[in-house]
Amino acid sequence: MKVILPNGDIKELVTDSLTVEELLQRLDISQGEVLVSKNKCIIPEDTILENSDDIRIIQVVFGG
């Protein structure tokens, strides 16, 4: 699967199916600070990802 990281870097991963939560743990990214999109749609942490998916991890900015 192609994963676009918050800094714009692209990572190619080949893996058995895994959830968004497992992907973020593997990449050492905090779930509370990002949104994840699969094929351009925002998805929840329990979504199962496949090798054919295009994943984008989007940094969420907090502040006032």
Domain assignment present for residue 49? The answer is yes
Residue 7 belongs to some domain of the structure? yes
- Write b or e for each residue in 11-38: b if 16 or more Cβ atoms lie within 10 A of its Cβ, otherwise e: eeeeeeeeebeebbeeeebeeeebebbb
Q: What CATH number does the domain containing 20 carry?
A: 3.10.20.30
User: Does the residue 52 lie in any domain?
Assistant: yes
Q: List, for residues 10-50, the tens digit of each pLDDT value.
A: 999 998 889 999 999 999 999 989 999 998 899 999 999 99
**pTM reported for the whole predicted model:** 0.88
Indicate whether 64 belongs to any domain: no
**pLDDT band (50, 70, 90) for residue 61:** confident
* Residue whose C-alpha is closest to residue 8's, from 64, 63, 58, 60: 58
- Residue 25, domain member (yes or no): yes
Question: Please, are residues 59 and 34 in contact by the beta-carbon 8 Å criterion?
Answer: yes
Residues 39, 3: contact at Cβ < 8 Å?
no
Domain count, the chain: 1
Is 33 a domain residue?
A: yes
Structural domain including 49 reads 2-59
pLDDT on residue 64: 65
